[in-house]
Amino acid sequence: MTPIVKKILIINVVVWLVYILFEVWLELSAFTQFFALIPQKVIPWMNGSNADAVGPISTVEFPRLWQVFTYMWLHSPEGLLHILFNSLFFWMIGGNLEQSWGSRAFLRFYLICGVGAGVVVVIFGLMFAPGMPVVGASGAVYGLVAAWGIVSPNRLIYFFGVFPIKVKHFVLIPIGFAVADFLTRAQGISHAAHLGGMAIGALLVTGYWRPGKATRKIRYWWLRRKLKVIEGNRNRTKDPPDGGYWH
């Protein structure tokens, strides 16, 4: 098992057990409220939850932006299947991609897919289910599914160690489940996370979306803005034209 895949699996299991302790044994919902992805908690003013907030500032609900990251480390405390299937596909696909890309690049890709899927959940959740908590690494895992099918389509693997199948055919299994769940409107499943993670993974691995390039553009814009401010301050040290005043 590759290093990053092993560490992420361990973290997921430990967090899952802690989640069970809070939600099932202690019957406390604080863990879900603070760390699950709840669209109206991430952007409360879009839902109007702060519209009637008056009095001390403590009564105003602040955005829990961290939830687009923390939700991907939680899995349903009500059973084993959720974390089991996510872990199985993550182990099968993640190890191959980490060996090909290296640990750092793989981790960065995984996290971007997970956070990106979370953003998609927030966008659609505010429109359709603002108060519905979402947990799980499915968005990040579906990003890996899309990437593996694109970068290694003709690689031959052995499904369950027995059945030979090409990667491009294997990835159709989880993709088919995601599409079928969406078309049948299956309950208890975040379609936005599955399809959003898949789309983000495909865009990243094909190069159609490059977060690093966008970050460089933002930094370039910020530096230009700072330079303009500095240049403006320098000009103000000079005497105003015709004996007038700066204003």
Q: Dump pLDDT digits (tens) for 129-167.
A: 899 999 999 999 999 999 999 999 999 988 777 889 999
Residue with tokens 């009637």: 52
* pLDDT value for 193: 95
What pLDDT is attached to residue 6?
97
Short-list 154, 186, 188, CA closest to 81: 188
Residues of the chain with pLDDT under 50: 49-58, 240, 243-247
Task: Say if residues 42 and 70 touch (Cβ distance below 8 Å).
Answer: no
**Beta carbons within 10 angstroms of residue 85's beta carbon:** 16
Per-residue pLDDT at 55: 37
Give me the domains of the chain, ranges plus CATH numbers.
3-49+57-219 (1.20.1540.10)
What pLDDT is attached to residue 72?
97
Q: Is the pTM above the cut of 0.75?
A: yes
Give the pLDDT score at 246: 37
Report which of 201, 157, 115, 137 is spatially closest to residue 9, judged by C-alpha positions. 137
Whole-angstrom Cα distance, residue 92 to residue 149?
13
What pLDDT score does 186 carry?
A: 84
The predicted pLDDT at position 153 comes to 93
Instruction: Read off the tokens for 107.
Output: 């981790």
